[in-house]
Copies of this chain bind each other. A is one copy, B any other.
């Protein structure tokens, strides 16, 4: 979708190759979302209707393929964050972004695993997102609706923890994470602020 095609300074791909590349990405999205990082390359290939060899001609390693999807995810987050900046109410803007980001995460098992493996690598996109979030936070804090002692570094932590809760099967149900996030957000409102440790 927002994934860039092959590098521009290469001769264009042959039609079948281009088609396969798309199929592979689609299959990857589906398989990794469902089964997480340990989805197998062969399943992925079967799902895409190609041989494993073909997958490897387009993406040198499994990791590279995952990276492509992660990139995609951050691009979406970035878009959400920018849109949030347009929302009038500062709390709605901030909380709304968090909710939407969580929703995005909740649909993808592999994403939770990757972001939680503590990677959180930098990268231009990631940096920009971080700043946008910083702006959302500042705005809410200036409006006095968000506790003043949190910063944009707390957001990845929140996303990480929500992701984890989303992966919990059965018991609390796949929907329990909404309760969890609601509580967390209540904890972020100024009204409830108690001094944070450190």
Contacts and interface: CB of A to CB of B under 8 A. Distances in A.
Interface of A: 116, 118, 120, 147, 150, 153-154, 156-158, 160-165, 167-172, 175-180, 182-189, 191-194, 196-198
Secondary structure type dominating chain A contacts: helix
B170 A164 contact: no
27 contacts: A116-B164, A116-B167, A116-B168, A118-B170, A120-B168, A147-B183, A147-B186, A153-B176, A154-B180, A156-B171, A156-B172, A157-B177, A160-B164, A160-B165, A161-B162, A161-B165, A164-B164, A179-B196, A179-B197, A182-B194, A183-B184, A185-B194, A186-B187, A187-B187, A187-B192, A189-B194, A191-B192
Quickly give the copy total for this chain: 2
A49 B176 CA distance: 45
B182 A153 contact: no
Q: Find the residue from A118, A169, A175, A178 having the highest chain B CB count within 10 A.
A: A118
A187 B183 contact: yes
